[in-house]
Structure 1
Amino acid sequence: MHIYFLQHSPLFGPARMADWLTGIGHSYNHCRLDEGELPPPLANCDALVLLDAFSPPEATLFKRERKLVDRALKSNKPVLGIGFGAGLIAEALGAIVSPAVQPEIGWQPLTLADDSPFDLPEMFETLLWHRDIFGLPDGCLPLGSTPGGPVQGFAWDAGRVVALQCHLESTAQDTAALCNHDLPTTAAAAYVQTRDEILRDPRRFDRQAALLDRVMTQWLDGH
Structure 2
Amino acid sequence: MHLHLLQHSPHQGPARLADWLSSMGHSHTVFHLAAGELPPRLADCDALVLLDGPAGPLDPADQPWLKRERRLVEHALDSHKPLLGIGYGARLIAEALGAVVARGRCAEVGWHRVTLAAESPLDLPEQFEAFMWHRDVFALPEDAVTLGGSEASPLQGFSWDGGRVIGLLCHLEATPESVAALLEHGPRPDGHADSPHAQPDEALLADPQRFVKLAPLLDRLLSQWLRPLAA
Q: Which of residues 83, 89, 93 in structure 2 aligns to 1:85?
A: 89
Q: Which of residues 154, 157, 179 in structure 2 aligns to 1:153?
A: 157
Distance in 2 (CA, whole Å) between partners of 1:61 and 1:166 is 24
**Equivalent residues of 1:183, 1:194 under 8 A apart:** no
The DSSP-based 3-state class of the residue aligned with 1:4 is strand
Deviates more, 1:209-218 or 1:53-62: 53-62
Question: Match of 1:209?
Answer: 215
Q: Per-residue CA shift, 1:11-32, capped at 9, x if unaligned?
A: 1111111111111111000111
Q: Find out whether 1:220 has 2:208 as its counterpart.
A: no
Deviates more, 1:146-155 or 1:192-201: 192-201
**Equivalent residues of 1:99, 1:132 under 8 A apart:** yes
Distance in 2 (CA, whole Å) between partners of 1:187 and 1:207 is 27
Question: Match of 1:101?
Answer: 105
Question: Match of 1:54?
Answer: 54
Question: Match of 1:131?
Answer: 135
The DSSP-based 3-state class of the residue aligned with 1:151 is coil
Supply the AA of the counterpart residue of 1:31: F
Supply the AA of the counterpart residue of 1:51: L
Distance in 1 (CA, whole Å) between partners of 2:209 and 2:226 is 26
Displacement after TM superposition at 1:49 (Å):
0.2
The DSSP-based 3-state class of the residue aligned with 1:105 is strand
The DSSP-based 3-state class of the residue aligned with 1:222 is helix
- Runs of at least 5 residues in structure 1 that lack an aligned partner in the other structure: none
Question: Match of 1:16?
Answer: 16
Distance in 1 (CA, whole Å) between partners of 2:79 and 2:17 is 22
Q: Which of residues 180, 186, 198 in structure 2 aligns to 1:192?
A: 198
Supply the AA of the counterpart residue of 2:217: L
The DSSP-based 3-state class of the residue aligned with 1:43 is helix
Q: TM-score, normalised by structure 2?
A: 0.92
Distance in 2 (CA, whole Å) between partners of 1:188 and 1:221 is 42
Distance in 1 (CA, whole Å) between partners of 2:183 and 2:195 is 15
Distance in 1 (CA, whole Å) between partners of 2:44 and 2:188 is 36
The DSSP-based 3-state class of the residue aligned with 1:143 is strand
Distance in 2 (CA, whole Å) between partners of 1:187 and 1:107 is 16
Q: How many residues align?
A: 223
